[in-house]
Amino acid sequence: MVKPAIESKHHSVLLAAIRQPATLVNYSNAQWELLLRVARRGKLLGYLAAQLELDKLLDKIPLRAANLLRSSLIQARKQQQVVSWELNRLLWALNNQNIPLIVLKGMAYQLLDLPNAAGRIFADLDLLVAKEDLEQIESALLKKGWQHHALTDYDEHYYRKWSHEIPALLHPERGVEVDIHHTLSSPLGKLKIDALSFRAAAIRTKEAGVYTLNPVDLLLHCAINLFQNNELADDLRHLLDFNEMLLFFSEKQSFFQQKLVRRANQLKLSRPLFYSLYFSRLLLHSPVSDQLEKKLKYQPNWLVLGMMHYCVPLALLPQHPEHSSKRATFARLLLYLRSHWLRMPLYRLLPHLVYKSYLVIFPNKPIPRGQNG
């Protein structure tokens, strides 16, 4: 595999820490100073702290760094408790309504006690439900005190007609955002998601009425979220999620990787899985064989892969805290445009970008209802 075009000093310091946490005991004070600032940008302090705690290395690094990392770990665990309590309150609000809830992302990793949950910082509660249950859930939560953010008419229309989720709900006493999805990516997007297939294969948790995606679908959703829904800027932690879950389940389940490839091909989700495997090996030195990618049906051609090979590392990896990179800025712009191109057809995308540009220029003048398409 061709090495990424980057690997400047701050990237090397971060990636070495992730690939081989044991090397951190030999870091100089200057390397620690740079590492902590870059990791904070990537929301990876809790992750590093959890890795060092697991390897019993926190007492072998400089005291100041150890104290900061311990503090980050406490903060991450507290945030996880807060989101867990929000799930508890939501179940209380939906009591006796018999609506299955599939918990996604960070809260799902926590419920399943996956290795990537340790130290992971997340602030939202993401749920997948049947589309026909959306109105009932939203109505119940609004009656119990949850509220929507103030939205423009355009944004309200966008969510209700074109998005894979309703506008976020938030209880003013707790401040945890609840994102309720009816599918896993934009219904207008080029990637067509069969949400029913994901819901039908979900697995029960210990909590009545609460489910998570099964292990294979957890990986696929992580890949979809990263390479279809997100704009990739500072998203290295999501690639870490993917790689750690892949290694964990590959060890726990026989033929897991073969099942993953088969499911991706069956659901026509092999492109985001391809990128997740490719960049896990490129950036994280994942031991997964490149033969796995070759079994996927929908692979990028050499031109697209070359563009992604150049741009994705520049976007995923945090920028230097003092010296921004023009190359990274340009790569992030290209990937921002790519993400919108994937999510919306051109006849929707162009008016959408024009409207967003209008709001940047005139932030206090939203277009009135009826004039925004």
What is the per-residue pLDDT across 100-134, written as a single tens digit (0 to 9) for each? 999 999 999 999 999 999 999 888 999 999 999 99
Q: Mean pLDDT, the chain, as a whole number?
A: 91
Q: Look at residue 373 and tell me whether its pLDDT is greater than 50.
A: no
Contacts of 302 (CB under 8 A, 6+ apart): none
Return the CATH number at 31.
Answer: 3.30.460.40
d(CA 5, CA 284): 15
d(CA 246, CA 256): 9
Average pLDDT (136-144) is: 95
d(CA 304, CA 311): 11
**Could you give the count of Cα atoms lying within 13 Å of 157 in the half-sphere of its Cβ?**
14
- Quote the DSSP letter at residue 255: T
| Matching residue, tokens 């190359």 | 327
Q: Look at residue 258 and tell me whether its pLDDT is greater than 60.
A: yes
What's the pLDDT score for residue 362? 74
Range of the domain at 273: 9-361
Contacts of 344 (CB under 8 A, 6+ apart): 162, 186, 188, 189, 352
Residue 48 lies in a domain: yes
Q: Look at residue 371 and tell me whether its pLDDT is greater than 60.
A: no
d(CA 66, CA 71): 9
Average pLDDT (192-218) is: 94
Contacts of 17 (CB under 8 A, 6+ apart): 23, 24, 27, 35, 39, 48
- Angle, to 10 degrees, between the axis of helix 29-41 and the axis of helix 45-54? 120
Q: Look at residue 76 and tell me whether its pLDDT is greater than 60.
A: yes
Structure tokens at 41: 């940008």
What's the pLDDT score for residue 230? 84
Residue 82 lies in a domain: yes
CB atoms closer than 10 angstroms to residue 302 = 9
**Could you give the count of Cα atoms lying within 13 Å of 345 in the half-sphere of its Cβ?**
5
**pTM score:** 0.91
Average pLDDT (151-169) is: 89
Structure tokens at 36: 């902590």
| Matching residue, tokens 């985001």 | 272
Residue 319 lies in a domain: yes
At residue 4 the predicted structure's pLDDT band, cuts being 50, 70 and 90, is low
d(CA 252, CA 244): 12
At residue 360 the predicted structure's pLDDT band, cuts being 50, 70 and 90, is confident
Residue-level length of the chain: 373
Q: Which amino acid is at 4?
A: P
Average pLDDT (250-254) is: 92
Q: Look at residue 6 and tell me whether its pLDDT is greater than 70.
A: no
Residue 1 lies in a domain: no
Q: Look at residue 38 and tell me whether its pLDDT is greater than 50.
A: yes
- Please give the tally of structural domains in the chain: 1
Residue 4 lies in a domain: no
Average pLDDT (137-154) is: 92
d(CA 37, CA 245): 26
Average pLDDT (338-354) is: 86
Q: Which phi-psi region, left, alpha or beta, contains residue 320 (left: φ > 0; alpha: ψ -120 to 50)? A: beta
Give percent of the chain with pLDDT exceeding 70. 95
Q: Look at residue 229 and tell me whether its pLDDT is greater than 90.
A: no
Average pLDDT (84-108) is: 93
Residue 366 lies in a domain: no
Average pLDDT (170-179) is: 94
Edge to edge, what strands does the sheet with 177-181 contain? 147-148, 169-170, 177-181, 124-128, 101-104, 210-212, 203-204
Residue 75 Cα distances to 120, 302, 330, angstroms: 10, 43, 33
d(CA 37, CA 43): 10
Burial class (CB in 10 A: 0-12, 13-18, 19+), 214: middle
Residue 372 lies in a domain: no
